[in-house]
Amino acid sequence: MEKKGKNNMKVYDVAQYILNSIGGEISAMKLQKLCYYSQAWTLAWDDKELFPEEFLRWDNGPVCRELFDLHKGMFFVDRNFIDKSWLSEIPVDGARRNIDQILEEYGKYSGGDLSEMTHAEKPWKDTPRNQIITKDCMKKYYFGLING
């Protein structure tokens, strides 16, 4: 695993922030979808990415491969499953605000519910199986929901 430099957030940082905020175990599927929505809505709200990693269109919804490689074979994860040496602090700017908003809006749903929600949305529907759901596609779709 590549250790990131200062002020260079990775998907692991967002996942850890989500897990710390929730405080307990959640399904790996739910964690994936919360990271996806955090990325997608940040692209729409702030016109910038939270982290550089991509999401793939898998059968159970969007999945970030780097995060999947960490939880592969685990149904539930908690805040202790990510190696702390890979993590940096999430800046106290829009990133935290955005993730907190996602947790407020989407945190009440199960991983299965979130998967079904992504299946009804254009970025997942318009991307071929096992291909990258582009950040541009995500940004356009979710920005359209704001202004539509």
pLDDT at site 58: 97
**54-107: pLDDT as tens digits:** 999 999 999 999 999 999 999 999 888 887 777 777 766 789 999 999 999 999
- pLDDT bracket for residue 43 (50, 70, 90): very high
* 3 in a structural domain: no
Q: What domain range includes position 40?
A: 11-147
State residue 147's pLDDT score. Answer: 79
Is residue 118 situated within a structural domain?
yes
pLDDT at 148: 67
Domain count, the chain: 1
Q: What pLDDT score was predicted for residue 88?
A: 75
**pTM of the entire structure?**
0.92
* 5 falls within a domain: no
The predicted pLDDT at position 5 comes to: 35
Say whether pLDDT at 4 is over 50. no
Q: Does a structural domain hold residue 127?
A: yes
Nearest to 106 by CA among 10, 45, 54, 41: 41
Average pLDDT (107-133) is 97
Mean of the pLDDT values across residues 15-36?
Answer: 94
User: In this structure, is residue 124 part of a structural domain?
Assistant: yes
DSSP notation for the chain: -PPP-TT---HHHHHHHHHHHH-S-EEHHHHHHHHHHHHHHHHHHHSS-S-S--EEEETTEEE-HHHHHHHTT-SEE-TTSS-GGG--PPPTTHHHHHHHHHHHHHTTS-HHHHHHHHHTSHHHHTSPTTSEE-HHHHHHHHHHHHH-
Query: 1 lies in a domain?
Result: no
Confidence of residue 110 (pLDDT cuts 50, 70, 90): very high
pLDDT in tens, 26-42: 999 999 999 999 999 99
Instruction: Using pLDDT thresholds of 50, 70 and 90, give the confidence band for residue 2.
Output: very low
